[in-house]
Structure 1
Amino acid sequence: MAYRTLTMHEDIFGLMGTIVNNQYRVDSVVGEGGFGVVYRGWHLSFECPIAIKCLKIPPHFTTEAKGQFFESFRKEGQLLNKLSNKHPSVVRVYDFGVTGTYAGTDAPYLVLEWLSGVDLATEMARRGRPYTEKEALLLLRPAVEAIAIAHGMNPAIAHRDLKPANLYLVRGDSDDSLKVLDFGIAKVMQEGDTATQLATRTSSGFSAFSPQYGAPEQFMSKRFGATGPWTDVHALGLIMVEMVTGHSALEGETPYEYAHAAMSGERPTPRSRGARVSEGMERLCAKALSLHPRDRYGNAQEMLTAMDEVLRGARGQRGKRESRAKEAMDRVAATSLGVETYVPGSHPQGSSTTMPVSHSVGAAEPVEVGQGTVFGDQVRTYVPDTLEASGQEKVAKKVRGKLSNKWAIAGIGGAGVVGIVAMLMMAIGEKGEKKKGVETPVVVASAENEPRLEPASPEPQPSKPAPAVKRCPEATSLPSGYVCIEPGTFVMGSPASEKGRSNNEDQHRVTLTRAFMMKATEVTQGEWESLMGDNPSYFKACGGSCPVEQVSWYEAIAYANALSKKEGLEICYRDGEKEYDKSSASSEREPSWPKGLACLGYRLPTEAEWEYAARAGTTTAFYTGDITNPTGRDANLDRAGWYEENSGGKTHPVGQKAANGWGLYDMHGNVWEWVWDRYRDYGQGEQRDPLGAQTGVSRVLRGGSWYYFARHCRSAFRYYYSPDYRFNYLGFRLCRSIP
């Protein structure tokens, strides 16, 4: 909803200075849209700022229509409250109701979370230039994901008034996140108007959607059918086109002109509006903007899948450029070493290549990629030290590193060869230099064909002194694949200076009084299938040693109980009088945890246990060091986890990256990991064995994933979803309390 600034005299409901429902103090008017007025308020119980949105009831509504409006508002409010707890990209709804006004009328209101930022329409106008297709897709993706959840609910919730003004950019420390506003309001307004038309047999000209972002069926339902999720798909297509072109997809100035443009046979795709986009992006928008709803994506989930395919295609093209660039660098190094024959892509036996980020050499025009730029046969780039090599390849690797790190720009040929030789001598002369970083662990198949993790050699990290009393048993008595974590005290959260931090990471001291054992890796597809008899994962082709994903929080709880039962251990979670099992998870019933941390069976870690274990005594953003690039390639994270910049758009076998100092793998990236806690802001003061909020819906996720940025993979980053949510970047790992 686009808002305009109001003065105190334009408080049309007369609510400023009043207290609504004995809970919400109304402080000031912050904006007005076609459907309502937004106030800044204060939640007297939570002691935090809130937004209070009061809806305008159109004056032409009949008494009967107003009654229907209030009933529809009540039902939509209940659905909206449920939806806002399912995904963080939907603005949270705390309460709704009806309040009296100074004029003696009733005004329906919503109590919403207070957002600090700007709507996408304002941001696009301020920006003054189009987004690249990757920028547009990545920015919109969380919002489309949230809309997909709404479309998948029973009954489905369609927005019906999606537009840039209803997408709100919440300002973060390093980047912005997008939230969807005003779900359900257009439907309520339209139903009230329809009831009035039936009663009066007149047309008011009232519109419950914005014509500039309207779909054909919103202008002419008799020809194109009813509105629904496909209507939101059309609006998202229009928004994408506007983002990559810099101007509105539908051309016009009046509702009639917008209607004509929306129903035209010439569809407003990016290329038809002058944008240079990939073939995949053009196809994505063309399908979303199909004239007939039957030819579009049926819902936002189908559109989201197509968006991911376009993004994976973009990554694939980048990977090809990077591979060509590495081969060029290797030729230079091989020539300097006197190697007679160079085979592209060849490496000494036992070496491996992991997503180098050097870029193509010899381009006719400057090509801007990653952290460097290529000009003809000159290279100016950064090549992270990601190759495990031996023999001559080690020296070649050092040459590549010095070509990019020691020199700002090095010509290949002429004086450039002299520079290469000099750097080669420097590389050869660095005898005895110990390689910094963490060695890549090896996954070895056991007799049962399950992954077995060889010990890693992590780089030393600062850690807290060991507790005076050791509580961990001998390693030989631990279950295979588990490590024991001693109790201790640590600082949870992130400092204000940490790049990429969010405002829900306030630092506070936490003491864990119990030792616990934690699985060294995320639960794998092979482990899940062996115990549960199925494999819900999207990336099945990745194999049995890859993390299981598309698992809800409820299903993770059921898995923990099933494993405890199989091994004859205490069952931690209950469904009333019975054990929590697959049928409990299928019914999405809320489990109880009667004994809490005293239960000795398998369970999910608490949020505090997870962060304590992930840090392994470190205080930096990652256990491999500080964060250097919150939304791009980060050398420290490259050593520890799979994330947006190095994953290739998929999960990877567990244990391939460096373990932390306590022997845990993939605590940064690969898949998000469910923990026990309900989401809430951290409380004040020091905490002891915290278990999270006692009430609420959303459950916490930790660790980041293959699809998310470096900032999301930090030890302190907190995410949350509804416990019934499943996606191909959601997994888990287990732990057990030590007696």
Structure 2
Amino acid sequence: MKCDKCQFELTDTWTHCPSCGNAISENIKTNVAPVSQTTVVKQAMSTGTIALDPASLAKIRDYEIFSRIVENRYEITEQIGQGGFAVVLKAKDRKLGDRTVAIKRLLKQHMQNNSSARIVERFRRESAVIATLNHRNIVTIYDCNSDEDGDYIVMEYIEGGSLRQRIDSGRRIPLDEAVKIFHGICNGIAFAHRKNLIHRDLKPSNIMLFPDGSDLVPKIVDFGLARQGEASDVSITGMVMGTPYYMSPEQQRDVKNVNSSTDIYSLGKILYELLTGDFPDVVDPEKLSFCPGISDVIFKCLKLKSEERYSSADEIMKDIDKVLGTAASEQKTPSEKFERIEPKSESEEDPREEEWFFQEISKKANGLKSKNESTSAIVEEYRKYLERYPSGAHRNEVDHLITDLRKQNYKGPNHGKSWKIPDTELQFSSISPGDFHMGSNPGIMGIGGEKGRKGNEGPVHKIHLSYKFWMGRYPVTIADYLKFMRSDNRDPQIEWTSKNCPMEKAGKGSDIDGGFWQEPSQPVVEVSWPAVRAYTRWLTEIELNAGRIPSGGYVYRLPTEAEWEYSCRAGASTRFFFGDDERELQNFAWYDRNSNNRTHPVGTKSPNEWGLFDMLGNVWEWCNDHYEGYKSESCVNPCGPKTGTVFVRRGGSWVNDANHCRCAYRKYWEPASCFKYLGFRLVLAPEIGSMASAGRM
């Protein structure tokens, strides 16, 4: 059978295509003849991807096959990624204060086959190529060597996930954020091209996103297919290497005889996917109608004749600025209060001017420090230098200054301890990483299953959450939500009406709307999903500027459905988190038997084992995920489907019976829904798309 996206030969045991990453649908798995491993490997080699059977992949995932200590210096702590040729390991550099680094290791099986010389040469060339590129938007190489386990590269460790993960999170990337990310990608590629280097495998999975405050700084990785100028003694004339749908037509014909315009083609595909969230197999101009003119830029990148495309990545950005300049500037977030500074190209750089600029920025930053100004204000001064000189002589120094400033002035939560945001009633419990089984027990032939079980609660599947986070102890209250509604920084793109937050009802007594807005400690209700998202962005911005957001891409947001059920169960596998007897529910939840047809102040019933109140009953709670049916396979850090029209709600409410208040019960509503039994709870966790994930729920 073949992938329905790129026509790559597949085996029936795979869930994703190893060439393009496309999920394999069940309908193409039926009535197909098995494909031999030899056939698959031959085709994989022809596309520059080594496909491995599941047994081999299982061995690769076990990083114990490599020495735990490399060069008596690097201590491997965990595996963080893998591809067809190499595995990426996280490690501590013992000689430099346990600095975290990433080690890319060539897989052993590629040193023991007929193509080993070519593969090893490509791997070694990657380190040599990146070592010549000192740029903010290109991953930094620290070291390269070989030992008894083979060749390896030591490089910068990037905390965030890849652009692929960010796009696949299912949340549209805001226009201004997408333009910023694409600016960085273009800056890095333009720099590489000025060094006479062509990447030849640009795609979202080869772009990592480094969390820098509220921004995500793109860093280009995987230069394994890069070549310098016209010289290449590793690529073979007529061979196809790269990734389908991101490769230019001329690269699909012959990887050796291409120039920098092949990267321009890939940039066009990446820009389309960034702006629409759609896989770029077909570029549909109708999906770009929200921003007239941008389709012209993309289609110029995608011209069939390479000479008709843009001649450089800098030219792409100039045209994008013409089209989006006004729109992008109007959509700046509150953190973007410094003037735009155009980055200097290498030909324009004057070392004396750069040094003067750095000294001026340093003086301003030191002045702000002496006045005890906020960390965010000082950081913004230093970032002016990085904006102007992304590959400047003081780049690493400034990066370290910014990192140290944020660490020194961190005032936020610490893992293992509860957290309360100052001047609010927003409290959070620390949740550790772990495993649980999601869904409800169906029993055997309908016998012995969970009472009240619904079909969409299965199949039961194992979930692993690999990151720490903080779950709100209560649903958000009227008091805390009204601070947002009365602020000047509400999202201008949302039409704020009484339909998505009837703030005029607050505090008016029980005769207004049945008392749902009577007390500040009641859970806020009648808030749409987009309005909740606007609230979480507002809160994240405030807390980031106050130095109270943990590093690693953490934000305030709605919980994923997996985070919600994991936290609700608190280690339990029963119908409710306290057991199976619904007669005890009255001690833990407000529901139809005891609510008197209204909401009640949060925290007035008993919590679960992890100190979380009102997880069941009182109000339904929005989740971050689009709704879909469960899959049977185990999942790591799932975050729901990429697209959809409805969002998950969990927990039951004051109007529902006990069956609706079970841990596994799940339902959905359209995002504009606003009901008196619908509220929400916050989580402080990595931004969707920044944590590594595998599988679908």
State if a TM-score over 0.5 links the two structures.
no
Q: Which band: TM-score by shorter chain? A: 0.3 to 0.5
TM-score, length-scaled by structure 1: 0.40
TM-score, length-scaled by structure 2: 0.42
Q: Which structure would you say has the larger RCO, counting Cα contacts within 8 Å and 6 or more residues apart?
A: 2
